[in-house]
Amino acid sequence: MTEQVDSASQARLVAGGRGAVVPAADVRTYYDKPVIKEPVWTWEIPWYVWTGGIAGGSAVLTGIATVTGHVALAQVARRIGTAATVPSPVLLVMDLGRPERFHHMLRVLKPTSPMSVGSWTLMLFSAAQGGGWLLAELGWFPRLRALADVAAGVLGTIMATYTAVLFADTAVPVWHEARRELPFAFAAGAATAAGAASWLAAGDEVGGPARRLAVGAAVVELAVVEGMRRRLGDLAEPYEREDAGRFATAARWLTAAGATLSAIGRGRRMVRVLGAGALLAGSLCERWAVYRAGFISARDPRYTVGPQRARADAGRGA
């Protein structure tokens, strides 16, 4: 995909008025400046979304494995969830720039703010996940450990998806317009990565349920992302441009290859390593694709004006 969108694509993005009465508009802004500013988030955010997704997904897997009697798998998933939880607050604080800013976000709880809910979720989830892991490793207070696992599992669902709501709750076109699919894509990606990590660590005998979770979630993730691109239409172009396009292509191929290897590679260590590794890498690349596509759409006014013009036309036609 070239840097510049061709004129036909631009005409589809920003159709002027209805029918042939008004010609397609050439979107220009003062001094060709973007309509909105690019996000201020830095490189730590896609990594945070990835590690937080693995942590949340692993906490849910821990609960499911415990309930279904897969105690050994639950132990592995709990350890992976804890390992993925450790860097998450570090990455978030690094993005904020100063540690006290994270503390400031905890001074109030605003249910209508995804960032406020996410900050509190991260804090409570880290405590539950870390506490459950410590009690399990020491073999102390099994009832309290089970309670911590339940809390981590419930909070894990929020950990895996609140970042999608955070992305969608911005003015960035390719994030806001994808608000219907992003939570499902992030949830499926978290389940894919968590299942792959547990399968990789536990092996085929213990990690069978994790392998099946990874394969199923990978298929769902591919379907949701493809559905999102089709629904967005021309607005999905940032996902195919520049580095976002490279990440999106890598994510598609890695996830598909990883799911295939995981489905057929049971019992072979090398295939397990390659399959789980591809699923983990594909999950990470998909988050980088979403992250970078937001920057591309923010700096091009066509992606901001196009959806607004479409909604205005739809309102006049109603």
Q: Is the pTM of this model over 0.75?
A: yes
Can you tell me the distance from the alpha carbon of 251 to that of 207, in angstroms, rounded to the nearest whole number? Answer: 24
Taking CA 141 as the corner, what is the angle to CA 137 and CA 142, rounded to the nearest 5 degrees?
A: 75
148 by Cβ neighbours in 10 Å (0-12 / 13-18 / 19+) ranks as: buried
In terms of C-beta distances under 8 Å and separation of at least 24 residues, what long-range contacts does 132-141 make, across chains too?
A: 132/62, 132/78, 133/78, 133/79, 133/81, 133/82, 136/75, 136/78
- Cβ–Cβ under 8 Å, residues 250 and 285: yes
Look up residue 262 and give its amino acid: S
The pLDDT-based confidence of 265 (bands split at 50, 70, 90) is: confident
Average pLDDT of the chain is 85
207/202 Cα distance (integer angstroms) = 5
Tell me how far apart the alpha carbons of residues 72 and 75 are, in angstroms, rounded to a whole number: 5
CA 255 to chain centroid, in Å, comes to: 14
Q: Count other C-beta atoms under 10 Å from residue 157's C-beta.
A: 16
Integer Cα distance of 139 and 159 in angstroms: 26
CA neighbours within 13 Å on the CB side: how many for 186?
A: 34
- Write out 102-142 in H/E/C secondary structure: HHHHCCCCCCCCHHHHHHHHHHHHHHHHHHHHHHHHHCCCH
Does the structure show a pLDDT above 80 at 35? no
The pLDDT of residue 204 is above 60: yes
Supply 181's token pair: 């699919």
Check: CB of residue 174 under 8 Å from CB of residue 236.
yes
Could you identify the residue written with the tokens 């299942």?
Answer: 195
Euclidean distance between CA atoms 293 and 299, whole angstroms: 10
Q: Which two tokens stand for residue 284?
A: 């990470």
pLDDT attached to residue 115 = 84
Lowest mean pLDDT among 42-51, 159-168, 176-185, 296-305: 296-305
Q: Which long-range contacts (CB under 8 A, 24 or more apart) does 259-267 make?
A: 259/214, 259/215, 259/218, 259/219, 259/222, 262/196, 262/199, 262/211, 262/214, 262/215, 262/218, 263/215, 266/204, 266/208, 266/211, 267/204
Q: Are 152 and 129 in contact (CB under 8 A)?
A: yes
Residue percentage of the chain with pLDDT more than 70: 86
Tell me which amino acid residue 54 is.
I
Looking up tokens 């309102």, which residue turns up?
315
Q: Find how far residue 273's CA is from the centre of its chain.
A: 23
SS3 178: coil
pLDDT value at residue 21:
53
pLDDT category of residue 41 using cuts at 50, 70 and 90: confident
In this predicted structure, what is the pLDDT of residue 222?
A: 95
